[in-house]
Each structure stands twice: as C-alpha cells, then as structure tokens.
Structure 1
Amino acid sequence: MKAIKLLILIPFIGYLGFLPWANRIEPYVLGMPFLLFWLVLWMILSPIILTIVYKLDPDNKDGETE
C-alpha cells in the first residue's frame, strides 16, 4: 500500500477515533454543541482530504480509461 493512500485513514480516525473525546455538549462552537460541531467539521474535511489523496496518487495521473 502506498503511503499517500494511508491519508484515507485520517477521516476515519477523526470520526470514530476521537469520538469518545468529542462526546460532550460544552463548549458551544458556532452555536452548536461540541459533538455536533466535531461531526460537521469532519464532514467538511473528509472530501477535502480525499481530493488531496486523489490528486497526489500517481495511479490517477494516467488519465481516464474506458
């Protein structure tokens, strides 16, 4: 497995790995309880990280194949 593809694990760890730590109501961030903010944050970061992995992966540099 290539090292760049290990970045795919970051959203998984963010969602589930730190969930027990983030499972609290206070502090409120942007008017949301912390847990809701944490999940929304990872919903925004996950596609960004996956796009970075897609762009950096050398297997995707060949172009589309049909």
Structure 2
Amino acid sequence: MLLRVLAALPFIGILLGVPFVNRVEPLLLGMPFVLGWIVAWVVLSSIIMAIIYRLDPSNRQIAADSEEVRP
C-alpha cells in the first residue's frame, strides 16, 4: 500500500498540483513559479522512484539471489 501511495505522489504533484500553483511570481532560480514546481517534481520523482525500488520486496529477493551465485 505504501509503495502505491509513493508512486502516486509524482502524478499528483505534477498533474493535479499545477493548476493550484499556476503563477509567475515568485521566481525560483529565475524561473516562473509553475516551471520551478514542475522541475522540482521531476527531481522528486527520481528520488521517490529510488525509494520505491529500495523498499520493493521483490528487488531484495533478486539482489539476494544474485549475491549467492557469485563465487
């Protein structure tokens, strides 16, 4: 359940959040606020997907199997 909620966060942040932050001011690193919002969510999406990868139990099983094969 937690993995599904984490996976939905980028969708919610980018697609559903943009209408609420659709303004030019304040500027974030010289970008309009809405563009800064989207860039931030692209970066956060990568971080969230890395967290999901680490928490997914099937990935732990694959890693454990690959370590057993090595001499």
Which range, TM-score by smaller chain? 0.7 to 0.9
Ranges in structure 1 where 5+ consecutive residues have no aligned partner? none
- Give the superposition deviation at 1:61: 0.9
Identity of aligned residues (%): 47
- Give the superposition deviation at 1:22: 1.2
Ranges in structure 2 where 5+ consecutive residues have no aligned partner? 66-71
* Contact map agreement 1:5 1:57 (CA 8 A) in 2: no
Pairwise CA RMSD: 1.5
Name the structure where helix makes up a greater proportion of residues.
Answer: 2
Partner of 2:21: 22
Partner of 1:4: 3
2:27 corresponds to which letter in structure 1? Y
Number of matched pairs = 64
Greater RCO, CA 8 A, separation 6+: 1
Q: Could you tell me the TM-score, scaled by structure 1's length?
A: 0.86
Q: Could you tell me the TM-score, scaled by structure 2's length?
A: 0.80
1:10 aligned counterpart, secondary structure:
helix
Q: Give runs of ≥4 in structure 1 deviating > 6 Å.
A: none
